[in-house]
Amino acid sequence: MENLSNVVHRTPLTTSMTFDRISGKRLYMKMENRQKTGAFKIRGATNKVYQLSAQDASKGVIAASAGNHAQGVAVAATKRGIPAKIFMPEGTPAVKAEATRQYGAEAILAGASYQETYEAAVTEQERGGSTFIHAFDDPDVMSGQGTVALEMLQQQPELDTILVPVGGGGLIAGIAVAIKTFRPDIRVIGVQTERASVVYNQYHQNGPSVLSKVDSIADGIAVKKCGSLTFPIICQYVDDVVTVSDEEIASAVVLMLEREKTLVEGAGAAALAAGLFQPQYVRGRRCGVVVSGGNADMTSLPRIQKLAQERMKEHLKTG
């Protein structure tokens, strides 16, 4: 992974007395929200771009992304000196689209969901011949994402569990392979939002394997179907897949702001929500939590605060 060291930050593994008290566990948060471009996605994108042959690179690259993969591909392509064209959903926050352009890529808004955006990008790739950089369903991308786990093991060798947010499955596939290769005793648990639980459904064989609609504050992991390459890896190496509510995710975002003075996006707070509010999934005492990104849409904060307040009211009623 020598190519990554020239581009990617080694992010900190932090702890919080408040979060340990709430969860009853020792939580170690891998702060990928402090990563270059604000998310882990740059790891996989960089690894893929630098694996390209000179011939493939000369064609330029194309990708589909809800935002974080877009920025990762843009930075990696610019570093290598090749053009990048990124397709993004029409509802992508303006800040993410603009950031992608500032990193050097052409950003094109197309499609109401990631799947529609992906299909538009594939059509353009077939027409123009650029090299496609998939957001998750690619061995080089998965391998790059797996460096998150290798760093976590170096920073805290005594972890017994790792909670990982799951969308298309690239991050958890890379992490699970890395963990089970070096430390098969560590449990790897995937976390999805209840409002986009396609991997949970497939893993437990309970519910649709393709969703017709997704709507969640965790937009970075709100996908309609899992990757065809990632899912078999998840089945082989991941110990469990669980879900959390949007209200729990919102509460985790608010707690990070209030207690740790740190902003994370919905997808970035999903694994933390499981650690804080569903600690029964963690059998051990030392739990790694992948805080996958911090590129929050500031206009979504009122909705997040409202959801967090609704959860608190319900908690007080039942508590």
40 and 69 in contact (C-beta within 8 Å)? Answer: no
61-64: strand order across its sheet: 106-109, 84-88, 61-64, 131-132
Angstrom distance (rounded) from CA 237 to CA 252: 27
164 and 191 in contact (C-beta within 8 Å)? Answer: yes
> Residue 31 burial by CB count (10 A; 0-12/13-18/19+): exposed, middle or buried?
buried
Name the token pair of 41.
């996605």
Angstrom distance (rounded) from CA 116 to CA 271: 27
User: Cα 8 from chain centroid?
Assistant: 16
- What residues have CB less than 8 Å from 88, skipping those under 6 apart? 64, 65, 66, 67, 70, 96, 97, 100, 107, 108, 109, 110, 117
85 and 105 in contact (C-beta within 8 Å)? Answer: yes
25, 30, 41, 180: the active-site residue: 41
In the residue annotation, 216 being an active-site residue is answered as no
65, 113, 197, 292: the active-site residue: 292
Give the type of residue at 282. Answer: V
Name the token pair of 61.
């690259």
Q: What count of Cα atoms within 13 Å lies in the side-chain half-sphere of residue 234?
A: 30
Distances (CA, A) of 282 to 25, 146, 179, 187: 8, 21, 16, 9
Give the type of residue at 293. Answer: G
Classified as helix, coil or strand, 37 is helix
In the residue annotation, 143 being an active-site residue is answered as no
Active site residues: 41, 292
